[in-house]
Structure 1
Amino acid sequence: MVFPRFDANSFWCFKEPAELHGAKYSAPPLGLITLAAMLPPAWQLRLVDCNTSDLTEDDVRGADLVLTGGMLPQWPSTTAVIALCKRLGVPVCVGGPSPTSTPEMYAAADFRVLGEAEGIIHEFVAAWERGERAGEFTAEKFKADVTKSPIPRFDLLDFRDYIYIGVQFSRGCPFTCEFCDIIELYGRSPRTKTVTQMLAELDRLHALGYRGHVDFVDDNLIGNKKAVKLFLPHLIRWQKERGYPFRFSTEASLNLADDDALLGLMRDANFFVVFIGIETPDEATLVHTSKKQNTRRSIADSVHKLYEHGMFVTAGFIVGFDTETDAMADAMIACVRDTAVPAAMIGLLTALPSTQLHRRLAREGRLHSNADWDRELPGDQCTAGLNFTTKRPRQQVLADYRRILETVYEPRAFFKRATGVGLALKRPRLREEAVQWKRIAHDLRTFVRLCWRMSVGHRELAGPFWRMVLTLAVRNPRSFEFAMVNVVMFTHLYPFSRFVIETLGRQIAAIENGDYVEPTMMPAAIGSAEVEPAAAKAAIPVAA
């Protein structure tokens, strides 16, 4: 089993934070280790994560079969794995979100397993056991029974390689955001695992000796509020009985802030960070993109509500919507400032395959063809988004994006937000929490490395960093270690934002100099109601 590498120039490459933690990468491939648990017990499995170690020819030669796949930013590495297997004569099978959305891009693989593995993997295994050495297997959409999903093969991992470990409670999201592919891949009716399942997964992690950060990788943990509210009291009890061995993170929609009872349950379970898709502060754009749930409440007040319940927020923002005006950059900068979100993931709008946005742009004849794939995808949506003809001049969109990044990730601005969150964060007193000396020692080593990096590696950051350290140590020491998480993330976001700013400068200069060539467009008919959805999958997607 091979997990392809994320490009070094991608947002998803967390090299510096991993080094500070003494790890090699942020998180292991939960999809592959879950798949591993579905394969026949007689199969001897080995996992190679290309983000933590190199895949060698001997690795491939020693295998009867290679299983690989993942997200679109991993596409270059995935195709390299496929090419290596083909050259060495070893059958290779691909699966995951990117092959499911754009199977034609993985035509070189011997096998393609498309859709959720629980619904189709048995057919692939049966074909392999019959001696078949090629084929395509497609699961029925949104029909996989996640209550039958097995405990992931956590035993295949070396926990020391990763900052945190992922688990999954639910799949799907009830909302209809035009640009999102989650509802296309997993549906709008979130399916959840049982309480017994989830506690069994946590028991397995605990029994294997893991302690620390566990991420619920759900695209919207509260997509099924009733189910998560039934689960959390059991999670709280499990944590108390074991002295709170885990601290949790997840992703949720902004309406989480409306439910004080739910926020209280998450606080008591020891959730400490939530990713929220804010996207844009412009109400007209939110309505246009069908993200109306963010228009029914104050974005800033909602985010600060989470701080009051002991959880800080990371957030996603998008530049490039059709309804944006010239005032967009100032409004987004103000939104980041007012929410005080330290780690804001700001990217360019990208028409992902099979999404409503993809289909609309195809109908309008504005979607770029995949003929320019290699030229347009050197990294991810931060450097290679806007795979369509924009309503505003492209140069203006890129210039606004550059100004937002320059302002938001100017060191004093970042540390002001991070300090503000550290002061506002009301971390709970977990009386049953056991003293975990091993984790304390690890955190101290990480903090020492961070101090060195801030003081020597990035000397321009030393002043604001030490002011933040002293302020929080005196005024809110309970939030200190959690506030430092944001600074650790900044060791990646700061240099990455500089890289993106430089890339944008070159793109803007190319337009100004007349060197930018508008990519080939997909025919306007493709993606229309008369054309099969599969025919519209040829456009360039950037992230899944």
Structure 2
Amino acid sequence: MSRKSDVNTAPRVLLVFPKFYENSMWNFKEAMEIQGARAAAPPLGLITLAAMLPEAWRITLINANCEPLTDEAIRAADLVMTGGMLPQEPDCLGIIERCRTLGTPVCVGGPAPTSTPDVYDRADFVVAGEAEGILPEFVAAWERGERRGRFTAAKFTADVTTSPIPRFDLLTFSHYLYIGVQFSRGCPFTCEFCDIIELYGRSPRTKTAPQMLAELDRLFALGYRGHVDFVDDNLIGNKKAIKLFLPHLIAWQEAHGYPFKFSTEASLNLADDDELLDLMRRANFFALFTGIETPDEATLIQTQKKQNTRRSIAESVHKLYEAGMFVTAGFIVGFDSEKDSITRAMATCIADTGIPIAMVGLLFALPNTQLSRRLRREGRLYANYAETTADQGDQCTQGLNFVTSRPQRDVLADYRGVLEEIYEPNAFFARVRETGRRLNRPRFAAQRIRWGAVAKDLASLTRIMWRVSVRRPDLAKLAWSVFAETARRNPAALEAVVTNIVIYLHVYPFSRYVMQEIDARLAAIDAGTWVQPPVLAPEAETTATGRVGRVAVEHFAAVA
């Protein structure tokens, strides 16, 4: 990386993280309010980018989810760098237009601009692909005086072992529920509906153990303690690498008194590997997101998610509980292979697993995936299948962006039925109770008591009790019954129980909102007023109205 700039001529660079949709199941607003946070997680991609830029460049960061982006901040910069994922696209495009109006050059990058650079053509610079593989070219062009350009990295070639320690010092830790780090990129599986392999490849590339420990050292030195999320799309995509790393992580935790607890995302076949489960338990992984998608094996095979077949999903999840990790999972309604109603099977599966927070959404054909390409070949993909607007929401209300194989009304009715059943209060708290009974959290002799954290947790618990008892008295009896039982029988599981209750304060009303939206769509279908959007012709090229992007699956943190 060039280091030609000096402090007198170095550009003033403003990094801007665009807003996410607020109308989403992934909005943890209640949890943020209770903890006094402003966003779930910081922009790991941007603070990693900041560490890659020349040392002399003067860098500031604004997370638009935490603080306003003012015209004065844009004018004060020589260069604005922004970008992100599909749910951030409306705000990102707005930022580009503001920069153009105010006369400040703007550079965009990240998953959505990588997939559809044409959508971001009004930006002065578009940097597509992983930053490690292309950023030096952009910096060299800027320092030559160029003020417009397009730069594209070769796919899947970035060497993540060269990634620097992210600029954690740019963050205000109190603004976030947790901090993210990344160990690997890519996933070995070929799920038809997923775009991870399109963006990062099927051969997961991993950082070295010294690299990861250096990042944790930096967080520790800056005073951060608590929840750290490994934002990997599948932490166990390279099992050999993660098994080599985890003993180092365990030793680091023991030496530092276990200052961190970890969460991540992993495929359900984690439950098959007792050695890996034991290592994650000893490292203090406490929460896991996994994509279950559907209990129907025919659908799992059709969508190429074969790693979830030939197993008892409930028994697999229970093994994760036994390893000390509470589980959140993704489910999808709307696959072609659903021949009959999926409501009963999916609701039963969720009940049997004891997963309290099941993120159920409608199938959304993400651009640049096997699914969207197949649907387009079949003449079933809507022409506007990936359009984004500021008030659009997420896949809960905006899915089924294609002609479904069975009547859309039946799919929507199924989806509504699942939401109604699983988030009915008695059903939800029965699953929380099951989690409280099964979760086997470890105890660590080397773990140091952090009295400041204890005081903060007690204050948070008081706010939670008030919100449940005063704001939602209809839920209070169920909530505190589960709380009391867990406190008596398995107090180590109380944190997981309370966390799920807090998330429910958002998910319950949101599920009812989604049901109202689905009711409106069903009524329009019944009245004959719903008009199917036009579809892309099989030979049609991707355009700005059928553009590629990325829908965030925000399990616990933003993807870098």
TM-score if structure 2 supplies the norm length? 0.94
Note the C-alpha offset of 1:147. Answer: 0.2
Cα displacement (A) at 1:210: 0.1
Aligned to 1:538: 546
2-side partners of 1:371 and 1:359: how far apart? Answer: 12
Structure 2: stretches of 5+ with no match in the other structure: 1-14, 553-560
Q: 2:515 and 2:232 mapped to 1: Cα distance? A: 31
Residue 217 of structure 1 deviates from its aligned partner by: 0.3
For residue 54 of structure 2, what is the aligned residue in structure 1?
40
1:111-126 paired onto structure 2 within 5 Å:
111-126=125-140
Structure 1 Cα separation of the partners of residues 310 and 386 of structure 2 = 40
Q: 1:386 and 1:208, CA in 2 relative to 1: closer, same or farther beyond 3 A?
A: same
Look up the match of 1:476.
Answer: 490
- Show CA shifts across 1:26-53 (max 9, x none): 1001011001100111111111101111
Further displaced range: 6-15 or 118-127: 6-15
Equivalents in 2 of 1:466, 1:516: separation in Å? 44
- C-alpha separation between the residues in 2 aligned to 1:37 and 1:290? 38
> C-alpha distance in 1, partners of 2:223/2:536?
52
The alpha-carbon distance between structure 1 residues 372 and 95, as it changes in their structure 2 partners (threshold 3 A), is closer
Q: Which residue of 2 aligns with 1:531?
A: none
Q: Deviations over 1:292-348 (max 9, x none)?
A: 110032111100001111111100001110011323111110110011111111111
Question: Would you say how many aligned residue pairs link Structure 1 and Structure 2?
Answer: 538
Contact persistence 1:69–1:95 (CA under 8 A): yes
8 A Cα contact 2:321 2:435, kept in partner: yes
- 8 Å Cα contact 1:94/1:112 also seen in 2: yes
Q: How does 1:351-430 map to 2 (within 5 A)?
A: 351-370=365-384, 373=387, 378-430=392-444
* TM superposition shift of 1:186: 0.3
Residue aligning to 2:224: 210
Between the two proteins, what is the percent identity of the paired residues?
63
The match for 1:193 is 207
2:343 corresponds, among 329, 335, 341, to: 329
Residue identity in the other structure for 1:453: R
State whether residues 61 and 88 of structure 1, in contact with CA within 8 Å, keep that contact through their aligned partners in structure 2. yes
Residue 165 of structure 1 aligns with an amino acid whose one-letter code is I
Who is 1:319 aligned against? 333
Query: Which protein has greater RCO, CA pairs closer than 8 Å, 6+ apart?
Result: 2
Aligned to 1:156: 170
Q: 1:251-330 maps to which residues of 2 (within 5 A)?
A: 251-330=265-344
Does the C-alpha gap of structure 1 residues 355 and 426 become closer, same or farther in structure 2, counting only changes over 3 Å?
A: same
Q: Indicate yes or no: 2:238 matched with 1:224.
A: yes
Q: What is the deviation of 1:443?
A: 1.1
Task: Check whether the contact 1:369–1:539 (CA below 8 A) recurs between aligned residues.
Answer: no
Per the alignment, residue 488 of structure 1 pairs with 502
Alpha-carbon distance, 1:375 to partner: 7.4
Contact preservation (8 Å) 1:33, 1:156: yes
Instruction: State the partner residue of 2:79.
Output: 65
1:451 counterpart = 2:459: no
1:31, 1:394 → 2: CA distance? 38
Query: CA distance change for structure 1 residues 335 and 484 in 2, over 3 Å: closer, same or farther?
Result: same
Alpha-carbon distance between aligned partners in 1 of 2:39 and 2:149, rounded to the nearest angstrom: 33
Q: CA deviation at 1:541?
A: 5.3
Q: In 1, distance between residues paired with 2:254 and 2:545?
A: 48
Query: Which ranges in structure 1 are unaligned for 5 or more consecutive residues?
Result: 528-533
Match of 1:184 among 174, 177, 198: 198
Q: Confirm or deny: 8 A CA contact 1:182 1:219 kept in the other structure.
A: yes
Whole-angstrom distance in 1 between the partners of 2:241 and 2:311: 24
CA contact (8 A) 1:351 1:541 kept: no
> 1:45 is paired with a residue of what secondary structure?
strand
Instruction: Please provide the CA RMSD for this pair.
Output: 1.6
Contact 1:172 1:189 in 2 (8 A): yes
